[in-house]
Structure 1
Amino acid sequence: MTDEPVGYDCHRDHGPYAGVAAFLGRIAADRPRLAARHRVELHAIAPRLDHTARPAAEEEPIRFHPARRTAWLAYGAVEFVAAWAGRLRQPVTVRFDHVGEADETTRELLDILARRIGSSPLRLDRRDGGPRRTVAADPTPEAIRRTLGDSLARGFYHHAARTARSGRATVTPDGDLRHWWAFTTGLATALAALDRATEALDLYHEARAATDDPKITMSAAYATAMLYARHLPAADQDPAQARHWLEQALHLAAGLHDQRQRVLSTVFYEQGLALLDSRAGEPARALRLIDDGLARLTAVLALGERPQDLARLRHNRAQVHLAMGDPAQAMADLDTVIAHDPDNCEYYVDRAALHRAADRSRAAIRDYGTAIRLGPHLPEAYYNRAMLEQERGRPERARDDLDRVLAIDPGHLDAQIALVNLHVEHGAFDAAEAGARAGLALAPQEPALLCTLGLIRSERGSLAEAEDLLTRALAGDPELVEAWTNRAAVRFERGDVAAAVADLDRAVALSAAPVPRYNRGTALMRLGRWEDAARDFTHALAQPGLDRALRRDLRTELARCRRATTG
């Protein structure tokens, strides 16, 4: 590439990632080794780069991705571009045309790229105008349906919704029921993924009013059940309605003439019942449904056929075993699941959680790493790996992972809180305060961030501001032990020892940790209540796992109390 601007047409008529996919392809051709390290996200964004891959819609069965996956893809693609741009020897300007009319995937990636490239030689020229390429689109229902299926399978739901609406405009249920239903259910699937499940529910009601075709009404019944079980806003979810519609779907599945399809549909729908049973506190009943389903699937499937379906049931069973307090059996199921479907990041995240619970941190870190590669760049895997790295005494690795989480999802409050606390632990108060204030800009009443910012301001001598921040934290979470402890320290330093003791009374009531006892003992000594202070120091000394410095200080203060009471 040279400093002569290169133009890419980003108009949504060319589909998801229009313009940017071609730009990434050009870089990949220039830097194949770098592209190989970003193969997963590049294939997802620009599948033409992988000539051996099948279209996403041809993969059986289709795995529906969460809508937020596009942010994960964008992060990986931008890291790819940034690594390339960092090696440029001269400025390069890249022009992206029709950005205002681009698909949401394109705009999202360009927004992240503009924030990331910083002072590199790469310059972006983003325009709403520019030359248009001709779109040779096939307007037939069959072609629209293929495009819809591919967009759904790749998780590009805004484009899928537009495609489904255009398809619905070309057919009617009376004239072409098959395609009308495909466009209707495709639109409903896209809307549910985009947190617009109420609109999806209306579409299934419309389908039932338009036809009594048993296969369509069966599919609509199951989809309606899942909206009530999972996708509607929490206040509108209704397990009873979900169960009602699942029973309708099962009744219609029982009437299917093809015995194999009857088994497949029945088993699939029964997994919805198993979900409801598990949520209702009936894991044993859920387990029976899953075991029976696995037996029936195995009986009708050929060896090696539909491995992802079998993996999905075993994954469900692993979750039920975990709910029943049997992590060993859950682990055995997850090992089998991963052997059958090794490219699903969700399974590695679940297995990593089991490894972590069993103190197998190295195995957990390996599984989180695999999930990050396959996801790709799964924020929760980065976050959980950061927590493990911190526990293992590797703060720099933890900080790197937390930075990645926030680069992918700036609104990830848990990561923001963890990163701020990590900065505090290592005395980086400027970074900690900046992070806390950034988090509070997104969630002004977040108790943990208010508490940490209060601690930082107290360390910097702004005691009145610190007390106000800690009081706000306690208003949001009256059981936040750290806020009671920190406000007590501020009040003690401001000379209100009685108020400090009152705060520490609350902290001690909430936690058996030694620090609140130690602090309360110190405050009680200031009030001359030596025997009460001695009891706190003695109690704290009895706690297991005390670090050496705290144990020494407790013994010193206890000795002072004893001298005061005997002198």
Structure 2
Amino acid sequence: MKRFIEFHNLLIITCLCVCVHFYSLPMHAQDHQTLRSQLKEATEVLACYPDSVDLRLKKAALNLQLEQWQYAKDEYDQVLRSHPDNIAGLYYRAYANQQLGRYNFARLDYENLLKVVPGHFSAQLGLALLNQKDKHHTEAMNQINRLVNQFPDSAVAYAARAGMEQEQGMIELAVYDYTEALKRDADNSDYLLNRVELWLKLGRKQRAKADLDRLVELGVPRPALKKWYRQL
């Protein structure tokens, strides 16, 4: 199991947008090889059509999924030089900048995106998570609370707030928010796995076992969960 995975990594793959303190299953080696093959093909095609924004964005997205942050940022830089209001360019460059530790540049990209598209869900989420990572906890929590209020049907918003609360040691509040997220996305294995971790911290082993058993029902191999089953 991979610890402290960013919510944004899920958003890149699923087009959600993270993050914070999040447990998830790792990428398989086969998936990694597939991405590398796709990147090689995308690079070759881009060389033939270097002015294509769509092709450059496609290559940059593959760079991100392979955690090649600087390469991705370089591609987004090129897109934004000629198209400074490109939504995907601003959003994903912000994420790449965050991974590179360039928090002020990431914050600027999110803010510029929100000028182009006020109320943009992913940009608001990204900015809140960035502030959490940069230890601007009060600002981050205010932003995520606003997001939950704006999008009360969003499982992602609740889960993101739960992750912040979990990171800050607010365990009961995090359980509540993961539970709200699961009401909206009942089969999400990441939310379930994080709630297992919280149940165990609270000593509620029966509830932890119920969530673990649910994960097995959803197709997660039981051996992959042995770390948590051993704590029951």
Report the TM range for the smaller structure's normalisation: 0.5 to 0.7
The equivalent position to 1:468 in structure 2, one of 138, 142, 146, is 142
CA displacement at 1:488 relative to structure 2: 0.7
- Structure 1 distance, partners of 2:149, 2:49, is 38
The equivalent position to 1:419 in structure 2, one of 72, 89, 93, is 93
1:520 maps onto 2:191 in alignment: no
Question: For the Cα contact (< 8 Å) 1:389–1:398, is it kept in 2?
Answer: yes
| Higher gyration radius (CA) | 1
User: Map of 1:112-151 to 2, 5 A cutoff?
Assistant: none
TM value normalised by structure 1: 0.30
User: Map of 1:120-199 to 2, 5 A cutoff?
Assistant: none
- Structure 1 distance, partners of 2:185, 2:47, is 36
User: Map of 1:253-402 to 2, 5 A cutoff?
Assistant: 360-372=38-50, 377-402=51-76
- Structure 2 distance, partners of 1:481, 1:427, is 28
* Aligned match of 1:39: none
Three-state SS of the structure 1 residue aligned to 2:230 is helix
CA displacement, residues 398-436 of structure 1 (integer Å, 9 cap, x when unaligned): 211111112221211222111222233444433322322
- Structure 2 distance, partners of 1:370, 1:475, is 47
| Residues 534/430 of structure 1: CA separation in 2 closer, same or farther (3 Å cut) | farther
The equivalent position to 2:77 in structure 1, one of 392, 398, 403, is 403
* Aligned match of 1:536: 211
- Structure 1 distance, partners of 2:172, 2:157, is 17
User: What percentage of aligned pairs have identical amino acids?
Assistant: 19
* Aligned match of 2:115: 441
* Aligned match of 2:23: none
| Residues 478/368 of structure 1: CA separation in 2 closer, same or farther (3 Å cut) | farther
| Residues 393/528 of structure 1: CA separation in 2 closer, same or farther (3 Å cut) | closer
Question: For the Cα contact (< 8 Å) 2:56–2:79, is it kept in 1?
Answer: yes
CA-atom RMSD in angstroms: 3.2
CA displacement, residues 246-280 of structure 1 (integer Å, 9 cap, x when unaligned): xxxxxxxxxxxxxxxxxxxxxxxxxxxxxxxxxxx
- Structure 2 distance, partners of 1:371, 1:479, is 41
Higher relative contact order (CA 8 A, sep 6+): 2
Question: For the Cα contact (< 8 Å) 1:405–1:415, is it kept in 2?
Answer: yes
Instruction: Note the residue ranges of structure 1 that are not aligned, 5 or more in a row.
Output: 1-355, 563-567
- Structure 1 distance, partners of 2:46, 2:187, is 33
- Structure 1 distance, partners of 2:45, 2:151, is 34
Amino acid at match of 2:62: L
- Structure 2 distance, partners of 1:424, 1:390, is 12
1:452 maps onto 2:126 in alignment: yes
- Structure 2 distance, partners of 1:371, 1:529, is 57
Instruction: Note the residue ranges of structure 2 that are not aligned, 5 or more in a row.
Output: 1-33
1:504 maps onto 2:178 in alignment: yes
